Structure 1
């Protein structure tokens, strides 16, 4: 059982203690420095199984994920406000500190997606936030004729996001923003999407996230693709972990754990073409039969990732 004696875990906990004592997690020199230290500590490949952490560290990890989620939301609002002050906000996206990471992650997700889904045209992005960089990058660089429906429970976040794309006629016509809890979006709507993206911080505790996944499994169209972000190793102190076995109702097609500065793992699954059915066992009980297959987990280093992308492009 991994506990405080582990040097990496100890460093992470020390940073958490400093962050938890701050009155404000909005971007500032001190906040930025601490989060940079935290990310740099978690990035190196580290063979840690977060399910085997002791109870004390599990509690700290849960609190740290929520703290990171709150800080990330403040960071996005801060830069969305700055970008919104420009006449053409999309020309200045590079000022966001992690913009290059989003470019790499979007390219990675696009390459993985097109291995399993040809010519998708309707996307839903759940948890798009005030700075919907994934939707913007995918719509601008990779899926230039697709429509993106962005869902966020925060109306002010959607207002800020809408302001960013309204100066671009093409994107403003292809990006729609909905203020709604995805749990209240019915199957009649969800069945229209070829691909549903689930942001890493939608459901910052695994139980919450699994409720969303279950809702999607019940309401997405058979054969539609679910793409979600997870975490691996020490990066699981930053984001929740979704295991392939958790995706009941989906066939897991690919799991990708990056080893560079891109933090999130990517999981791609297909809604089972055969709906859940019931059967009667020998004792007369009703048993739910579900589809839950796990594909090979792909762990590539940066060099192999580039080679794979080049082969795919060719």
Structure 2
């Protein structure tokens, strides 16, 4: 039987999500330069990062009011995140001598912990990585830089946005001490992944199915890692569901489990013969 405390918590989240959506619709500037956006999104992420049972999250996700606005809300949250990364890319430009100089980024600790869980899962899968690609690197390439630091592997970064490519490529060039990294302006669905051991796909990349298909067309021996979400964090990102990949033969090889601190989970796929 649901407690009054649980019901109140669910109602609070539903109300906050709807109110946040209304504000994001009304505001023209969704970047960190807008203090209203900073406040609203910080409060929303903080609230959704508190521990919650799956059954409680499912009830919220099934709320009719939430279902009506969620798709549009995810688009606005995606735009806000892109603008946030662009803002911090400009802030950090010419100010980093090592990856640790990004430590003041508001989600730095979350990135570090996420990479830690991914490395543990890679070890469990027992997958050797000498080279990898990261699709959807964005203007602030923290994930690929942290992955390279952990694995010591050759790195290829892909992004199809001109401005994101310009910012990201500069950081990669500044921090790539051994010259084994590349940053390419290209749609990941058009790249040739031959010779790569692992391909990472960022959570905000929209054409995941096309990219996964292209990976296995050009390199069926590769492992694909896709950033996803579980539970209540589906109010922030769209989860990955390989059963919806109509044109891709793949099977799950492993996955990480997110917690209240780490928003994203990661699902690993191999080619299904």
Q: Give TM-score scaled by structure 1 length.
A: 0.75
Given that 1:197 and 1:226 are in contact with CA atoms closer than 8 Å, whether structure 2 keeps it comes out as yes
1:228 aligns to what? 226
Aligned positions of 1:286-301 closer than 5 A? none
Cα distance in 2 for residues equivalent to 1:37 and 1:77: 21
Shift of 1:77: 1.0
Given that 2:78 and 2:204 are in contact with CA atoms closer than 8 Å, whether structure 1 keeps it comes out as yes
1:65 aligns to what? 74
Q: CA RMSD in A?
A: 2.3
Shift of 1:169: 4.7
Shift of 1:93: 0.4
Given that 1:50 and 1:233 are in contact with CA atoms closer than 8 Å, whether structure 2 keeps it comes out as no
2:254 aligns to what? 254
Given that 1:103 and 1:137 are in contact with CA atoms closer than 8 Å, whether structure 2 keeps it comes out as yes
Shift of 1:112: 0.8
Q: Which runs of 4+ in 1 moved over 4 A?
A: none
Deviations 1:16-57 (Å, cap 9, x if unpaired)? 112221110110332111111111222232423489736653
Instruction: Say whether 1:160 aligns with 2:167.
Output: yes
Instruction: Say whether 1:42 aligns with 2:22.
Output: no
- Among 196, 200, 223, the alignment partner of 1:193 is 196
Given that 1:83 and 1:89 are in contact with CA atoms closer than 8 Å, whether structure 2 keeps it comes out as no
SS for the counterpart of 2:114 is helix
Aligned positions of 1:106-121 closer than 5 A? 106-121=115-130
1:132 aligns to what? 141
Between 1:70-79 and 1:254-263, the stretch displaced more is 254-263
Shift of 1:139: 1.1
Unmatched runs of 5 consecutive residues or more in structure 1: 275-314
Deviations 1:51-77 (Å, cap 9, x if unpaired)? 973665334111111111111111111
Given that 1:101 and 1:261 are in contact with CA atoms closer than 8 Å, whether structure 2 keeps it comes out as yes
2:21 aligns to what? 16
SS for the counterpart of 1:109 is helix
Cα distance in 2 for residues equivalent to 1:133 and 1:50: 34
Given that 2:172 and 2:183 are in contact with CA atoms closer than 8 Å, whether structure 1 keeps it comes out as no
2:209 aligns to what? 210
Higher helix share: 2
Cα distance in 1 for residues equivalent to 2:95 and 2:259: 35
1:311 aligns to what? none
**Change over 3 Å in CA distance of 1:19–1:246 after alignment to 2:** same
SS for the counterpart of 1:115 is helix
Unmatched runs of 5 consecutive residues or more in structure 2: 1-8
Cα distance in 1 for residues equivalent to 2:198 and 2:61: 33
Cα distance in 1 for residues equivalent to 2:14 and 2:53: 11
Return the index of the structure with the highest Cα Rg.
Answer: 1
SS for the counterpart of 1:190 is coil
Cα distance in 2 for residues equivalent to 1:254 and 1:238: 23
Cα distance in 2 for residues equivalent to 1:34 and 1:56: 19
SS for the counterpart of 1:228 is strand
2:185 aligns to what? 179
Deviations 1:196-215 (Å, cap 9, x if unpaired)? 10100001xxxx43333333
Between 1:111-120 and 1:231-240, the stretch displaced more is 111-120
SS for the counterpart of 2:177 is helix
